[in-house]
């Protein structure tokens, strides 16, 4: 039988769909309190309803994690609501599937801000809390990594080479 997570709090990014949604629902089914976010309000509202139906507490926010202030707000609101954070599960990501020569600088910046910068900011913010209490887990979705990193080529997804080089050290124990 799986251990109950009724006394734990998890932040899950990219929870509106895919692996982020699946992880949020799995944690909710084990009683974990959740703070979830996505950039599409209808998606995150639907997931929040599903989490509530499973009997778990949920704080659902529609945020743009390419912006530092939204990353900081996510952590602050979760901490205000629950008083602690036990898990940060990063599943957010963006991938423009077009040749490098067709990508704009704005698309490059968006990719870097979502896929790298948000992970850095969220990890830094949550690590402050976990360091103080000397406990917690930060998880970068392996499925998200494999999906993005599996699509690398010189002309498609060039920016994801930087993504891989940056995130691999973040997966090491902090």
Q: What is the pLDDT of residues 112-141, one digit of tens each?
A: 899 889 999 999 999 999 999 999 998 886
Higher pLDDT, 9 or 167: 9
Q: For residues 148 and 160, is the Cβ–Cβ distance under 8 A?
A: yes
- Please, what is the average pLDDT of the chain? 84
Sheet bearing 137-140, strands edge to edge: 58-62, 33-38, 9-12, 87-90, 137-140
Q: What is the pLDDT of residues 11-32, one digit of tens each?
A: 999 999 998 999 999 999 999 9
CATH fold for domain 9-170: Rossmann fold (3.40.50)
Q: What is the pLDDT of residue 50?
A: 98
Higher pLDDT, 111 or 40: 40
Is residue 1 predicted with pLDDT exceeding 70?
A: no
Q: What residue segments make up the domains of the chain, in order of their start? A: 9-170
Where are the alpha helices (H) located in 114-158, listed in sequence order? 118-133, 142-149
């Amino acid at each position: 039988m799986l251990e109950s997570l009724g006394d734990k709090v998890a932040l899950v990014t990219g929870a509106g769909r895919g692996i982020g949604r699946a992880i949020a629902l799995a944690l909710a089914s084990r009683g974990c309190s959740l703070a979830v976010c996505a950039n599409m309000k209808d998606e995150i509202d639907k997931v929040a309803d599903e989490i509530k139906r499973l009997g778990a507490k949920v704080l659902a926010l529609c945020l743009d994690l390419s912006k530092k202030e939204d990353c900081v707000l996510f952590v602050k609101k979760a901490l205000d609501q629950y008083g602690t954070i036990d898990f940060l599960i990063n599943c957010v990501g963006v991938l423009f599937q077009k040749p490098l020569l067709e990508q704009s600088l704005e698309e490059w910046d968006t990719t870097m801000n979502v896929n790298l910068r948000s992970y850095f900011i969220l990890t830094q913010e949550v690590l402050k809390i976990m360091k103080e209490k000397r406990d917690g887990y930060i998880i970068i979705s392996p499925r998200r990594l494999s999906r993005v990193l599996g699509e690398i080529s010189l002309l498609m997804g060039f920016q994801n080479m930087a993504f891989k080089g940056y995130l691999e050290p973040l997966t090491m124990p902090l």
